[in-house]
Structure formats: structure tokens, C-alpha cells
Chain A
Amino acid sequence: MKAVISVTGKDNMGIIAAVSTRCAEYGANISDISQTVLDEYFAMIMIVDIDRLKIPFGDFSDSMSELGREKALEIHVMHEDIFNSMHRV
């Protein structure tokens, strides 16, 4: 199963490093990253494999939100099912 991590906010050094470190720590394996910077505005969509997640999904999501608060970024984690159900018949 996969989850989508969205990260938005003012560009800064080490955003990808911080998010990927946290993913590695909790056993979320990164399978795809799409990232762009527009006028100092950072936006990233990361797709991670969560089959070997070491903690409950809710805790992982909380931890990412917490990281977002520390770095002044908006970080949200969403299970892939919401996208699959919404966009596929």
C-alpha cells in the first residue's frame, strides 16, 4: 500500500532531506518524488510505500505534521485509496 505525502511552504535548505530522513526512520520507502520551486514557494508530492511502516499510520501522519510545524511547512499524509476511489471508476 502507498501513501501520498504533500509538502508545501517557503523554500528552505534541507526540506527533502528532513522529510526523507523521517520516512526512513519510520520505514516508509520512497517510490516517487515530484518537486518544484516557484518564486521561493516549495511544493513536493512524495509517494511512499507503507507496507513496512514501523508505527501506526495515524502516528506517522502526526509525526509528519509535527515536522511540518517545526520547519514552517504544510505537510500532509494521505492514504492512496482516497485518490484511487475518487479518480477511478
Chain B
Amino acid sequence: MLELSNILETINMIRDENLDIRTVTMGISLFDCVSDDPGRLCENIYEKLCRKAERLVPVAEDIEKLYGIPVINKRISVTPVSLIGGKTDRDGYVKIAETLDRAAKTLGVNFVGGYSALVQKGMTDGAKELMSSIPQALSETELVCSSVNVASTKAGINMDAVAMCGDIIKETARLTADRGSIGCAKFVVFANAPEDNPFMAGAFHGSGEPETVINVGVSGPGVVAAAVKRAGNCSFSELADLIKKTSFKITRMGQLVACEASKSLGVPFGIVDLSLAPTPAVGDSVAHILESMGLESAGAPGTTAALALLNDAVKKGGVMASSFVGGLSGAFIPVSEDAGMIDAVTKGALTIEKLEAMTAVCSVGLDMIAIPGDTPASTICGVIADEISIGVANTKTTAVRLIPAYGKKVGDTVEFGGLLGRAPVIPVNGYGCADFIARGGRIPAPIHSLKN
């Protein structure tokens, strides 16, 4: 029997607290598209994406109507393109990016992820070609997202790849300077990248995944913030319990949508990603959850502890609500996409160093942070290396999505619009690390990676 209080609670979460399904992402393998003819390869990719994902958007829209819950993004992730490129050269890879973009537009999806290379231990010739094509590919396409996995706890850190990523980011910022260097918002550098992540810009369809799969990312910072506010002055254990219960409810909805999408599309259900993904909308902020816990501002002392509690409780509550949990699963702390983070950065309460500390206890990493356009590539590499080290040493995913906003300096703001929001340009430590980055080679895997 349906209880009125439950019905009202759910409706309130959706209408007033911005509860939504952040993304239904269909993973599609491109292995059978391989061809030694670059033109044929592109044709195969286009044909397969359009065939397999033909019904993705209509089915997601039907689910929205059925349950009255918004499904914000419909996305596609594909096999890391460097794995299927064969002998493709730089220009050939750009053509593949254009093909992915064209397919995404035909299908009406919001993004396609997987213009990626996995180079944690070393770069194949193909991976190098793909990486060198990323700036051009991102500047000439709209919906293609790219990522490079430069490290893993098992392999250590490929510092040559990190060095290349600094240049990729700088060049992408330059090529998309007329649009606030937005190309950089579509590029992520990873450590321990998950193969089933439904969130952009880092989604790709791993080599161990099935032919096609449905992964769902839930959201709901607004719901958690409202629950924390209602709870008032309770103890930490009560707070953690409350977040667990809320997270359970949010995830159950994700599980329901994932099962329904999987059934309607005839595609296996992969995972639910239990992430708290903020948007720039008022009342949809992870920073505001932290502030609801009693911090004057996100970034104040206590922020890392608050975030650690939040991240852990979200997982504990969510894991029982879904049959398979995966992806990134944790709280996201992008700056430009979170109204509370934007405020905290603007008033100087939150710095890039504090953000780095916070990434040690939540999912992802330094995300959607605008830095001065004249930041040297080697400094960007240093920031990447630091963040990636946190992931490698702690056996977790970390990522870097920095925007060295071309022509902008500290105090300026970069407007991206939509879910990407706006980012105040924040200072980066001005002391150099060029000689450190120039060493090249690999940083060995940590001792605790030797578990066999």
C-alpha cells in the first residue's frame, strides 16, 4: 500500500530538491569496427553507434514520463579509441572524433566519451598519435569527451604521459580560447580510471565490458543538503545515519531506472554509480551540504572531515540499494558546476591546495577548476602529478580537469553555460617544477600494490 507521506517525500525530492537521474549512459564496444582502411573504420563506428543506441534517447524519455523523474543526460561511452585505431595516424584519429560527434548528434545524445588512451605503463604508437590529436579533436567537435589514464596503483605513474598531458591541456585551451577554453572541460587525466564510469568527461567502455551495457549515474546533493538541514544539531553518528538513509532512497531510484532502461533496450544492466553530482542550480550543491553540517564556508578547516563523512555515508547507504555498484561512486567536487564551490572560491575560502586535500577522501579529483591562462605547462604537469599520486598511493580513482583559461588571470571568471557552469580563475603556486617534470620515465608503483 502506498503511504501518503512517502509519496509526498518523493515528490518533494524531485520538485523542490532537484533530485534527478544525472545520466543514463550506454557503453558500446567498438572492437568489431576495426579496419585497416581509416574511412571504413569511421563508417563502421558510425553505423554501429547509430544502430545500437538508436532507441536510447526515446527510451530514456519514456522512463522520465513513467516515473516522473528527470533524466538529465543521455550519453554514450565507447571502447577507448586508441585501442581500435590500429595504424591510424593523428589526422585519422581526428576523423574518428568527428565521426563520434556526428553519431552523437544524429542520436540526440548529450555527450560521447571514450576518445581515450590508457597509458599508465607506457604509450603505444597509436596512443601517442591519439594523444597528440586531442587538442584538435576537442576544438573541432562539440560532443566528444576525451580522457587519458596516466597511472594506476599497479603500474605506477607514467610521467612521460603526464608531461604530454600538460601540453595537451595548454594547446586545447588555446584552440578553444574564443569559447572560454571550453575544450579543456571535455578532457580528463586519470589515475585508476574505472571502466564503467557513466559520468563525463571521463566515461569510456572498458575492454572487459560486454558488447553493450547500461550504466546509470544518480544525483541528489539537494536532497542530502535538505535532509541535513532538517536534522538540525544532531551528533555525527546520527548525521551519518541520516545521509545513509537518504542515499539509499536516491540509489533505489537509480536502480529502478537502470533496470527499466536495460529491459526496454534489451541491453544488460552494468552498474549504478552512487555519485553526488552537483549542478550550478541553486539547491544542488555539494558545498552546501558541507556548510549545512556546520562549516561557515566550504574550504574552512573541517571541510575534509565533513566530506569524508559524507562520501562514506553515501556509499554505505547506496551499496545496499543497488545490485551492482561501480563507476566513480562518491561525492563530486567540481568547482564551476557547484554554486557553493564557486562562492567559496570567489571569497577566497577555498584554494586549489584545499581542493587537492579534499580529493583524497572523495571521488574524482581536481575538477573543473579554472587557472590563469599563462600557467606554464610544467606547472600543470606538477598539479596533475600531485593529484595522480593521491590516487595511486590510496588505491582510488583521482582525476584532473583543469582549464588554463586563455588570456584570463586570477579574479576573472570563465563562463561555460549549462551544466558546466562558470569558474572563477584561481591562483596556482608560482614556484616552478619544470626540472622535476623534465626527468621523464615512470614513478614506480607503491609497495602496497604487491598484493599477490
Q: Which of A's residues lie within 8 Å of B, judged by CB?
A: 2, 4, 6, 34, 45, 47, 57-58, 61-62, 74, 76-87
Give chain B nearest CB distance to A63 CB in angstroms.
Answer: 11
Please, which residues of chain A bring their CB within 8 A of the CB of B10? 78, 82-83, 86-87
Report whether B4 and A34 are in contact in the complex, using a CB–CB cutoff of 8 Å: yes
| CB atoms of A82 and B65 under 8 A apart | no
Cβ of B384 to closest chain A Cβ, rounded Å:
40
A83 to B7 alpha-carbon distance, docked (Å)? 6
Q: How far is the CB of A67 from chain B (nearest CB, A)?
A: 15
1/0 per position for B37-78, CB-CB distance to A under 8 A?
000000000000000000000000010011111000000000
Question: Nearest-CB distance from A89 to chain B (Å)?
Answer: 8
- Residues B1-44 near A (CB distance < 8 A): 2-4, 6-11, 15
Inter-subunit contact A45/B67 (CB<8 Å): no
Q: B8 is contacted by which of A45, A78, A81 (Cβ under 8 Å)? A: A45
Report the stretch among B155-163, B251-259, B305-313 that lies at the interface.
B251-259
Shortest Cβ distance from A61 into B: residue? B65
Which residues on A sit within 8 Å (CB–CB) of B253?
82, 85-86
Bound CA–CA A15/B120 (angstroms): 63
Cβ–Cβ < 8 Å partners of B68 in chain A: 61, 76-79, 82
For the complex formed, measure the closest distance between the CB of B187 and the CB atoms of chain A, giving whole angstroms: 36
| B63 smallest CB distance to A (angstroms) | 10
* In the A-B complex, the 9 residue pairs with the closest CB atoms: A78-B68, A87-B6, A82-B67, A58-B65, A85-B256, A61-B65, A85-B252, A86-B249, A79-B66
Contact A81 B67 (CB under 8 A): yes
Closest to B68 in A: A78
* Bound CA–CA A57/B68 (angstroms): 11
Chain B contacts to A: CB under 8 angstroms: 2-4, 6-11, 15, 62, 65-69, 249, 252-253, 255-256
Taking A58-B62, A82-B69 as contacts, is the C-beta distance between A45 and B256 under 8 angstroms? no
CB neighbours (8 Å) of A84 from chain B are 2
Min C-beta distance of B67 to chain A, whole Å = 4
A87 & B3 in contact (Cβ 8 Å cutoff): yes
A62 to B253, CA, bound (A): 22
B432 to chain A minimum Cβ distance, whole angstroms, is: 52
Q: How far is the CB of B274 from chain A (nearest CB, A)?
A: 15
**A32 nearest CB neighbor, chain B only:** B2
User: Is the beta-carbon distance between B66 and A57 smaller than 8 angstroms?
Assistant: yes
Q: How far is the CA of A79 from the CA of B69 in the complex (A)?
A: 10
Chain B residues lying within 8 Å of A80, measured Cβ to Cβ, are: 2
Residues of A within 8 A of B15 (CB): 74
CB-defined contacts of A58 to chain B, threshold 8 Å: 62, 65-66
Contact B69 A83 (CB under 8 A): no
B67–A79 touching, CB < 8 Å: yes
Residue of B nearest to A58 (CB): B65
**B256 close to A82 (CB less than 8 A):** yes
Query: Separation in Å of the B62 CB from the closest CB of chain A?
Result: 5
Given contacts A45-B4, A82-B69, 14 further A-B contacts (CB under 8 A): A2-B2, A58-B65, A58-B66, A61-B66, A76-B11, A78-B66, A79-B68, A80-B2, A82-B10, A83-B2, A85-B252, A85-B253, A86-B10, A86-B252
Contacts of B6 in A (CB 8 A): 83, 86-87
In the complex, residue of chain A having the shortest beta-carbon distance to the beta carbon of B58:
A58
Closest CB of chain A to B265's CB: distance in Å? 16
Task: Report the minimum CB–CB distance from A15 to chain B (whole Å).
Answer: 17
> What is the bound-complex CA distance between A47 and B73, given in angstroms?
30
B67, closest chain A residue (CB)? A82
Give chain B residues whose Cβ lies under 8 Å from the Cβ of A4: 2, 7
Residues from chain B with a CB closer than 8 A to the CB of A76 are: 11, 68
A80 to B65 CA separation, bound complex (whole angstroms): 12
Which residues does chain A contribute within 8 Å of B7, judged by CB atoms?
A: 4, 6, 45, 83
Could you name 9 residue pairs across A and B whose Cβ atoms are closer than 8 Å?
Answer: A34-B4, A45-B4, A47-B2, A58-B65, A79-B68, A80-B2, A81-B67, A86-B249, A86-B252
Contacting residues, chain B, for A74 (C-beta < 8 A)? 15
How far, in angstroms, from A4 to B1 measured CA to CA in the complex? 12
Query: A6: which B residues are within 8 A, CB to CB?
Result: 7, 11
